[in-house]
Structure formats: structure tokens, C-alpha cells
Amino acid sequence: MPLRQIDHLILGAGAAAATAAATLRLEDADCSIMILSVDDSPPYYRPELSKLYLLGSASNGQILLHPAGFYEDQRIELGLSAAAVALVPPPRSSLHRPANASIMECCSSQPVPCRNVLP
């Protein structure tokens, strides 16, 4: 993936990531949002995976947090099967960094803003 600027980068693809991305989109219609995850599937209900999907009681589509096309319609980019290897913040003197840019770690049930990453 080439180096580029993203307004809001969300690490992890669970329920917290999907909720954070949808909330960011509601708050700012023009920002760029990316969910980056080592998972190869869009955000899904993790409890349903063990309770229904693995038992054969639910299909792949039934455990997804949002229907097919939601992320594309909302202009939320999914970076699946990918890991962040480096985060390069803009220089402190940059006039181009949006004041509301963020990086969130969403590898648990609650989003956690990464501290000391952006100047």
C-alpha cells in the first residue's frame, strides 16, 4: 500500500472499529476513514462467530456488522489482510494536517485513541 494521508485511521476490525468509523462519517462527511485489520473479513459480530457461524446456524452475511456495500456507500475504506508496520505523522510545522485527524486502536470492545502518535 503506497504512503498516503488518511484523516482517521482505525486499527482493528471489530464492533468498536465499525462503530467508530460510522460515527466519524456522521460527524464529518468529507474526511477520509480507513479501517486497517489483519482479518480478511469486514467487521463482524465476534460472539455470533462462535455461537452460530461455527455451528452452521448462520451464514457469513448474517454475522457481518453491516450489510454488503455499507463501507463503500459510506466511503469507509477497508484495508483487510493488512497490518500497520509504521505510522508516519506529518511534520509539526505542517499546515496541511487536519485539526481533527486521529488514529484509534479498536482491538477490543472500546475504541482507544493512540497517544503520542500525532503531533
- Mean pLDDT rounded to a whole number for the chain: 77
Average pLDDT over residues 80-89: 80
pLDDT in tens, 2-15: 677 888 989 888 88
In the DSSP assignment, the letter for residue 44 is B
Q: What is the pLDDT of residue 53?
A: 62
Nearest CA among 107, 118, 100 for reference residue 31: 100
User: Would the pLDDT of 1 be above 70?
Assistant: no
CATH (residue range 8-113) = 3.50.50.60
pLDDT tens-digit profile of 18-57?
A: 999 999 999 999 999 999 998 888 998 777 677 776 667 7
